[in-house]
Amino acid sequence: MATETEQAVEKGAEAAGGPGMPQLDFSTFDNQIFWLLVTLILLYFVLARVALPRIAAILSERQGTITNDLTAAEDLKAKAAEAEEAYNKALADARAEAQKIVAQAKDEIKAELDEEVAKADAEIAEQVAESEKKIAEIRESAMESAKEVAKDTAKELVAAMGAEADGRTVTAAVNQRLKG
Amino acid sequence: MATEAQGGDEGGLAFHPMDQFIVTPLFGDGEVGTFTITNVTLWMAIALLAIIALLVLGTSKRETVPGRVQSIAELAYGFVHKMVEDVAGKDGVKYFPYIMTLFMFIVFANFLGLIPTAFTVTSHIAVTGVLALLVFLTVTVLGFVKNGAKFLGLFWVSSAPVALRPVLAIIEIISYFVRPVSHSVRLMGNMMAGHAVMKVFAGFSQVAVIAPVSILAVTAMYGLEVLVAFIQAYVFTILTCVYLKDALHPSH
């Protein structure tokens, strides 16, 4: 310790006889404090006026950019979802439309078919009626012919038996028999 | 001491670990007056210019995607800003430029002091003392301006038993007034001790036999000092934030 002090004293003509530690050389305090205050004041103004507002602006701008980008991304996502929904809706609509068209076509065809069937049925019924009428006519005429033949036959039979046949009585008898 | 004597025998082994802290005029050999341009002036100016280069020139392009220098500037800004916000609270952010000034000055002075042959301004009690006193005065005045007499509640521990409170008040007051001392001596002592130890190790390298060991030791010390340079700046700044919080919210 003694040596150190000696050294400092030895060396310390310029340290103004400091007691070993230049830190405790009070003759340089005013100088250091003066320059420190100058530096701090300059530094404070540079930082407070220029550097810090600028960095704050840069940071907030970046934050803004990021937020904007995120919002834009969100928007695009929403748009994509919307587009998908619209596409799905269009698809569903088209499907419904197609089904409607199919049903309509089916109905039309069925109606047409029904009509045709009804027409054909009517035609058939008409033909059947006509045929029946014809058959009835034929049957009528056949009956008439049979009556005539029966009368004639009966007259001839009566004549052959040798009796004078009254035409009117024979006819009535035949008629009665045919009815019975 | 013994080594020194022995060294003397071997031919001029001399230790001057404290010479690096001597304040000398840059021009001429005159007395150091108040306005003399000294090595203190030089290294403070270099620190100032370096900070301007980083925080002003480095951000002049205002890039949204930052380059290297701008990234470091933003990192420093974010680091201190977050510290102030976390420790001192939202209303402490108003004093952020002041704290940023302190932090940048100390961290740059510490790191520049690590350049060989540089002068470390933060190893002087005159410098750290003024820094600490500025914080102490600012915080005390701020405490009274913001809270009035309620600021004295800082010394009245209302959570302690009534009988103990006067005793605690005395302890609190003493610890409050010791703050600037510990605040400044911590920084100055750390910087001075590290640099002096490095000088001592470097002095040993004058002896050829132990030179490799001493160079290794200097290297290791240097690494440690790089850490200390940042940690001490951080500690000084975070304590400033803590004191600021006490001034803004004096209740315990």
* pLDDT, position B160: 83
- Within 8 A of A44 by CB-CB distance, chain B residues are 97-98, 101
* pLDDT, position A5: 44
CB B122 within 8 A of CB B106: yes
State whether A59 and B74 contact (CB < 8 Å).
yes
Task: Report the alpha-carbon distance of residue B197 to residue A35 in Å, rounded.
Answer: 27
Count of domains forming chain A? 1
State whether A28 and B77 contact (CB < 8 Å).
no
* pLDDT, position A14: 41
* Residue B117 per-residue DSSP state: T
Q: Is the ipTM reported for this complex over the cut 0.95?
A: no
CA distances to A65, A70, A111, B42 from B62, rounded to whole Å, are 13, 21, 80, 30
How near does any CA of chain A get to the CA of B52, in Å? 8
Q: What is the mean pLDDT of each run of 10 residues along chain B (252 residues)?
A: 40 75 85 87 95 92 88 94 93 93 96 92 94 95 90 85 89 93 94 92 87 91 95 96 91 66
Count of domains forming chain B? 1
C-alpha gyration radius of chain B: 22
State whether A58 and B74 contact (CB < 8 Å).
yes
Task: Report the alpha-carbon distance of residue B178 to residue B129 in Å, rounded.
Answer: 12
- Amino acid, res. A34: F
Q: CB neighbours of A175 closer than 8 A, spacing ≥ 6?
A: A147
Interface mutation target, options B72, B80, B127, chain A, most CBs of A under 10 Å = B127
Structure tokens at A48: 């407070």
Per DSSP, the residues of chain A read -HHHHHHHHHHTTTTTT--S-GGG-GGGHHHHHHHHHHHHHHHHHHIIIIIHHHHHHHHHHHHHHHHHHHHHHHHHHHHHHHHHHHHHHHHHHHHHHHHHHHHHHHHHHHHHHHHHHHHHHHHHHHHHHHHHHHHHHHHHHHHHHHHHHHHHHHHHHHHHHT-PPPHHHHHHHHHHHHH-
CB A173 within 8 A of CB A154: yes
Q: Which domain, by its residues, includes A113?
A: 2-179
Nearest beta carbon to residue A46 from set B45, B56, B124: B56
Q: CB neighbours of B4 closer than 8 A, spacing ≥ 6?
A: A3, B13, B14, B15
The angle that helices B39-52 and B96-113 make with each other, rounded to 10 degrees, is: 120
Task: Report the alpha-carbon distance of residue A38 to residue A32 in Å, rounded.
Answer: 10
Q: From first to last of the 180 residues of chain A, give the pLDDT tens digit.
A: 444 444 444 444 444 444 478 888 888 899 999 999 999 999 999 999 999 999 999 999 999 999 999 999 999 999 999 999 999 999 999 999 999 999 999 999 999 999 999 999 999 999 999 999 999 999 888 888 888 888 888 888 888 877 776 777 777 877 787 776
State whether B36 and A31 contact (CB < 8 Å).
yes
Structure tokens at A110: 């069925």
CB B248 within 8 A of CB B93: no
